[in-house]
Every structure is written in C-alpha cells, then in structure tokens.
Amino acid sequence: MRAKKNWSMLLLFFLLVCTPLEANPTVENFDWPKSGVVVGERVNLRSEPSTSSKVIGRFAYDYEGGELVVTGKSEGNEEFPWYRVLSHKYGEGWLYGKFIAVEEPEDPVRRYALKIREDFGLSPALAVKMFGEPMKRTSKKMRIPDFNVTAEIVTLQFHGHTAAYWDGYIQSVEIPAGFMGFADLLLGMDAGEAASRLGTPILQEGNSLIFAYERDEIAVATGRSGKGKIVTGLTYRRVVFD
C-alpha cells in the first residue's frame, strides 16, 4: 500500500515538473498602444491587475497625469477589465477599467505618437529602464514668459537616438541616422511608403515632410539614393505649450 502511494506521488511530481507552464491567457498585449485618461478620484495605480497588489501611485482627480499610454489588458471575473498603462509620473502599472477611459487612436500621427512614447520612454526613468544609462545627460531650466512657467528640460543621448523630456514627459525624439525607426517607419525605407502611412503632410520644410495631429508632430527627412527617395531621418515632437 505504501509503495503504491509513493508511486502515485512520484507520478504527480513528474507531471508537475514536465508539464510546461502556459502564459496567462487572459492578458492581452497591445501591438499598438491606445490612449487613456483617469476617470475618478483617488484612483490607485497598482503593480499587478489585482486590488491586493502593491499601490504604485494614486491619481487624485479626473485626468490627472494627462494622457496615459495603454499597452495591454487583463480579463478576469470582475465587472471591468484591468489595463496596463504607462504614466510619466509613476511609471508602468495597472488601472481598473472602471476608472480609465480608453480610446483607440484613429488618426495615424496620433497612433504613431503613442507607439513612440511606449518605445522610447514616456519619462526619463522609463527610457533608462529600456535603454540603460545614456551616453550623455543634460538638464536645464527654461523660463517661458508667455505662459509664466519655468520648464525643466532633460535631454538623454543614447546610441542611435536623442530624447528630450519637459517636466518629466517626453517632448521629442530624434533619429538622425542608423537603422532605428518609429514602429514600422524605418530609416532607409521608401519615402513615399513612409508618407502614405502617416497621411497628408501639413508642411514641407526643405527635404522634410511634416505630419501633425493636435499636439503631435512627426518630421520625415528624405534624401536620394540609388533606389530613389528614401527616409534619412525621423523626428517626433510634442507641442508642450501653444
């Protein structure tokens, strides 16, 4: 009888060890992020999609923290899903669906702008987390008399791109050369194909086409090659004050 019990325990152990663990099927990662804003007061941002997980930060009122980058969703047995978000103030965390309004971006420039914020770091801390310490970091304060404010500007220079952050929020990303890009907009690709993905340019400055939607701008620098006109540089800029 004891031998039979031991064999049963060994079989159970073998099954537990040899059965591959599956990823949580209820968690959906968004290939292209969505836009989100906090709706509610004293809303907690948590480390995991659960009310029992650690509180990372707290949003005191509606729309505090501005536009959030929504990168995933977790479905469970609760009334609302949980959303994984990026906040320049608190970093990455989870918000319960009752307290966030999520929107699918329809304009192509806005869609790319959200992806750029996710891929290059919504804040300096998130950028360093993704790319490591920059080759060069500068910080300065700039007075803007028209708005009676003083902005703190942090610029991080990495291998392949440079990003600037105003008061902790990404304001610009520049890719002057190399093989990087903004999602599927890549240096060296056909310039006409890149332009078709962004829509109609609002302006042409020299060899650059400017695409814009509300506060977001993407500039596509072009040049000639043996294959015709190609993308030679990419710049993203978010208008902070207007």
Among 73, 103, 133, the domain-final residue is 103
7 occurs within a structural domain: no
Among 51, 81, 103, the domain-final residue is 103
Q: Which pLDDT band holds residue 226 (cuts at 50, 70, 90)? A: confident
In this predicted structure, what is the pLDDT of residue 14? 41
Instruction: Write out the residue range of the structural domain in which residue 214 sits.
Output: 108-238
Per-residue pLDDT, averaged over 139-161, amounts to 91
Closest to 220 in 3D by CA, of 68, 69, 108, 71: 108
pLDDT tens digits, one per residue of 8-36: 544 444 444 444 443 444 778 999 999 99
pLDDT tens digits, one per residue of 151-161: 899 999 999 99
DSSP state of 20: P
Judged by average pLDDT, the poorest of 45-49, 63-67, 123-127, 215-219 is: 63-67
10 Å CB burial of residue 16 (0-12, 13-18, 19+) is exposed
Higher pLDDT, 18 or 164: 164
CATH of the domain at 229: 3.40.33.10
Number of domains in the chain: 2
